[in-house]
Amino acid sequence: MEPKQWNALALGAVVLLVIGSWLLFWPLESKITKGLDIRGGLSVILTAEETTGTAITEGVMDRAELIVRNRVDRLGASEASIQRQGAASILVQLPGIGNADEALAALGTTGQLEIRDVVSVDATGAPVLGDILLTGDVITGASISTDQLGKLSVDVTFSGEGAKRWAEITTARVGRQIAIVLDDIVQSAPVVQEPILGGQTAITGNFTPEEAKKLKTVLETGALPVSLKFEESRVVGPTLGQDSLRKGVFAALVGLALVGVYLILFYRGLGVLSLTSLFVFGSLFLGILAVLSSFGWFALSLPGIAGIVLTIGLAADSSILINERFKEEVAAGKTIRSAAKSSTRQAIGTSLDANLVTLVSAFVLYLVAIGPVRGFALTLMIGIFCTVVVMVLYKRPIIIALGESVMMKMPRLFALKGGGGGA
Amino acid sequence: MPRFEIDFLGRKLLFAVISGVLLALAIGALTVQGLSFGIEFQGGTVINITADVPLEISEVREAFVDAGFREPVVQSTEDGGFIVRASESDPDEVNRAFGDVAAALGLDRAAGTVTTIGPGWGQSVTNAALLALVLSVFAILLYISLRFEYKMSITAVTALIHDIIIVLGIYALSGRDVTPNTIAALLTIMGYSLYDTVVVFHRMKENSVTLVKSTFTSMANHSINQVLVRTINTSVTSLIPVVVLLFFGGETLRDFAFALTVGLFISTYSSIGVASPIFVLWKEREPKFRALAKKYAQAS
């Protein structure tokens, strides 16, 4: 492709990207998810501990996560988010929850698995629970098996004492329902088909693989109980968060304005170009945040705001790198036209290296760190990505395009010395 | 080049003295004073309160003691709120007790943000942070070695460690709490420190390709001068938002901004005053550049 065509294409793409971004993120208030530290609510980090003291494995974490989900459902918190963090911890966020005390009390107990009698069925078809027949500690294991027809069943084994009582229970209840209950929520209510005397029990049904796995995990919480420990808890009042957000946004805007003034004073026309590239940068950045928000992958936290303020600096940095290189080559005697091409290529190379080094540390931070710092690392990475896109698709093409027209006629307007228009 | 040039590399001794003094002060402060770690690392409770009614520190303290907190440390903030630190770490108990405090002070329960950290958690947070730090240093060493050369990567990381020790020293001197935000700030400073150094090295690499008629040192010094305006301008534009954050960002973002402000100054200095001189001294030992030095030492 001809360089000129490429330039026109790049600038066209930028215009479309900016318009697209604005459509995506406007109005900001509703398009970018606010994190819990801004909206208010309860955020806790729990670590799982097996009460038997064995090492934390994937299976233990599955059980812990299940217990947490189960309890969060019971609290009826909407928009709750439950995420694994690191090897042994789970982050639970309950935005806008009214009664934090109740939630804390519910989250902080060991999972309790029971097998209970079903006395009747209520109007909605849900079982009404009777006595506790067995507690989960008599279960020694659970596994999934497939029969010849490909139907899944969940197999449960009981300990010696448990098997004896299980035999009595099932003998007395053939044809009736029993319920498998975790933390007071019914997980499954199978009908007893026949007396089970050996302790080996198969629970059948039209399970999907996910359902079977869930039931297996539920039963395992009985065999290998998991207790959850609070490691970090934040109960955020909504007023404080809003206040910090207002201050953070104010700081970002003031910072941006001052950077703009400085750039224009120092670089004149080139400064205006830098400012427009900051505008493009900001648009793309917010567009990406809005897209991530809509998938639930991003929520703006206070450290995230700090990350944004910082990336404004990084974006300006790259822009200055180009301006300086350009001025320098013109001062060294190159024509504006040829300096526009060579200087932007060189400067983008330098800035790519410098940005990649920063990206490396942001990426490591994102992978390794726990808690709020990750939000910071994420915004930093997005910022670096946008910076590179803006330089390649906008700053270089626009300097080359203007280098062939306006700058040749009015070099002083762009604070360019030497070079000379027609040379 | 007709432009006036500053002989940075001729002032190696001055830089060595400045860095030496700063490092000695920092290490001294770190050993004598030590770092004070926030409750995020030790375990305990921090409660931030926004008060819409005027309250005295003593009143707030009393309410916390009455609610059963053993040794609450109460600090007032500029906007009329309070930060209370205590050693209790059970979220269930602490939140109930804070409910009592709010009632006693006539505040809305929602006017407070209650953070509790379990005692063992701090260790895992610290470990994760240290791991992040070590891993990124290795990743950076690898990247610069592959992209440039190993001598650059080692000097760049030396400058980086120099910066981090000094920032930590200032933390020790000022008695500010080290929080997870500080760690994030340190990692960012690493990024900045490298950014500046990489830009200078990039220019040296470019200029050394055509190096025939001068010494490595004078070429390197010329390179620093060529990118000097950029270095100053980018430091200014990076500092502006961070300083604004320091003054207007509110209590929560302030310690982050503090670390960054200090770090930006130091990292700008170290790319010129630490990384470049060490790298140049090292390069001058290569036979090719030693020969050039012999030939052109007088001329430059």
Q: Does A84 touch chain B (CB under 8 A)?
A: no
Q: Does B106 touch chain A (CB under 8 A)?
A: no
Rounded mean pLDDT, B229-250:
85
Residue recorded with tokens 């004492």: A161
Which chain A positions have a beta carbon within 8 Å of B99's beta carbon? Answer: 101
Contact between B118 and A232 using a beta-carbon 8 Å cutoff: yes
Judge if ipTM > 0.90: no
Chunked mean pLDDT (size 10), chain A, 423 residues? 82 94 89 83 83 71 82 75 81 80 77 83 81 84 84 86 86 87 84 83 84 84 76 80 80 86 91 92 94 87 78 85 91 89 90 84 77 77 92 92 85 72 40
Pairs of CB atoms within 8 A across A/B: 249
Q: How far apart are CA B148 and CA A270, in angstroms?
A: 30
Which chain B positions have a beta carbon within 8 Å of A100's beta carbon? Answer: 95, 114
In this complex, which of A235, A325, A360 lies closest to B95 when CB atoms are compared?
A235
CA distance B268 to chain A (A): 13
Chain A stretch 161-190, residues whose beta carbon is closer than 8 A to a beta carbon of chain B: none
Q: Does B117 touch chain A (CB under 8 A)?
A: yes
Chain A stretch 234-273, residues whose beta carbon is closer than 8 A to a beta carbon of chain B: 234-241, 243-244, 247-248, 250-252, 254-256, 258-259, 262-263, 266
Q: Tell me which DSSP letter residue B249 carries.
A: S
Q: Does B170 touch chain A (CB under 8 A)?
A: no
CA distance B190 to chain A (A): 8
Q: How far apart are CA A46 and CA B118, in angstroms?
A: 10
Q: How far apart are CA A129 and CA A184, in angstroms?
A: 10
CA quadruple A399, A405, A407, A408: dihedral sign? positive
Contact between A240 and B96 using a beta-carbon 8 Å cutoff: no
Contact between B115 and A233 using a beta-carbon 8 Å cutoff: yes
Continuous H helices in B46-149:
57-66, 91-105, 121-147
Contact between B244 and A105 using a beta-carbon 8 Å cutoff: no
**CB-based burial, A208-229: b 16+ in 10 Å, e otherwise:** eeeebbbbbbbbbbbbbbbbbe
> What was the pLDDT predicted at B297?
65
In this structure, are strands A226-236 and B112-117 parallel, antiparallel, or unpaired? antiparallel
Q: Does B110 touch chain A (CB under 8 A)?
A: yes
Q: How far apart are CA A375 and CA B146, in angstroms?
A: 30
CB atoms within 10 A of CB A401: 17
Contact between B144 and A86 using a beta-carbon 8 Å cutoff: no
What does the pLDDT look like over B12-46, one tens digit per residue? 899 999 999 999 999 999 999 888 888 878 888 98
Tell me if residue B245 falls in helix, strand or coil.
helix
> What was the pLDDT predicted at B102?
87
Q: How far apart are CA A386 and CA A1, in angstroms?
A: 24
pTM, two decimals, is 0.77
Rounded mean pLDDT, B220-242:
88
Contact between A364 and B110 using a beta-carbon 8 Å cutoff: no
| Higher-confidence position of A307 and B64 | B64
Q: How far is CA A172 from CA A188, B107, B282, in A?
A: 19, 58, 87
Which chain A positions have a beta carbon within 8 Å of B257's beta carbon? Answer: 306
> What was the pLDDT predicted at B298?
55
> What was the pLDDT predicted at A388?
92
CA distance A207 to chain B (A): 38
Q: How far apart are CA B12 and CA B284, in angstroms?
A: 14
Cβ–Cβ < 8 Å for A128, A122: yes
Q: Which of B86, B94, B184 is nearest to B133 (CA)?
A: B184
Chain B stretch 219-238, residues whose beta carbon is closer than 8 A to a beta carbon of chain A: 226-227, 229-230, 233-234, 236-238
In this complex, which of A44, A328, A361 lies closest to B187 when CB atoms are compared?
A361
DSSP lists the bridge partners of residue A84 as A90
If 0-12 CB within 10 Å is exposed, 13-18 middle and 19+ buried, where does residue A242 land? middle
Instruction: Flag whether pLDDT at B300 surpasses 50.
Output: no
CA quadruple B144, B147, B152, B154: dihedral sign? positive
| Higher-confidence position of B196 and B280 | B280
